[in-house]
Structures are given as structure tokens and as C-alpha cells.
Amino acid sequence: MQRDPRTYLFDILTAVDAIFEFLKSADYDAFRASDLLRSAVERKFEIIGEALSQMSKIDIDLASRMTRWRDIVAFRNILAHGYASVDLDIVWRAHRDSLPQLRAEVEALLRELSALTSKTR
């Protein structure tokens, strides 16, 4: 059975919020020094990319409404398969520079989909 695209959006939102929580009191040096912190953040980025990848298979129009969604999926693939070449600077910048926009876009899509769902009832 195919998942509702909103479940992928919730998965993305939950992972984004987890990254923000993990890093709320950490600076870049603390992030680099902690294997646990790096692993947790990378795992949540993998979830974000996988959720977008799966969502694109069932609703490409919805996935394409998120800025640079293909880059996010590619980033997930690097984290999952190219673990030996992960650049921590890129992971840190992705958290700092890209996640706020992604979070806002996901929230907007969820509001829109919820409004559509309530109109059809």
C-alpha cells in the first residue's frame, strides 16, 4: 500500500527538528569533535533525503515544490554510500543554511494539504 505523501512530509519535519535539537547548544567544533553528534545528524539527513526520494516516486509534483530536492536526495546518497568522503563542513552548512528553508517549505505544504483534505470532507 502506498503511503500518503503527508507522512513523508511529517518524517522530514521530524528529522529537521531533531537536527535543530541535536545542534541547539553545539558549535562547529563540538559537532566535529563528537562522533555521536555527527552520526545522529547524518542519520537524520539520510532520513530527510530518503523521505524525499520515496515521496518523489508517488508525487513528483509535490516533491519538486521543495527547493533543491534532487540535491537533498543526492546528499543522502553521499552520506549513506560515500561515508568515507563525507565533508563535515558541508553537513554543518546544510544544517545552518538549508534546513530553515526546507522546514518552512514542508510546513507550508502540510498546511496546504491539510486545507485541501478538510475541503473534500
For residue 121, name the pLDDT band (cuts at 50, 70, 90): low
Report whether 23 contacts 31 (CB < 8 A). yes
Q: Quote the percentage of the chain above a pLDDT of 70.
A: 96
Total structural domains in the chain? Answer: 1
pLDDT of 19 reads: 98
Which residues belong to the active site?
Answer: 76, 81
CATH of residue 76's domain is 1.20.120
Gap between the Cα atoms of 91 and 25, Å rounded: 17
Domain that holds residue 71: 5-119
pLDDT in tens, 17-72: 999 999 999 999 999 999 999 999 999 999 999 999 999 999 999 999 999 999 99
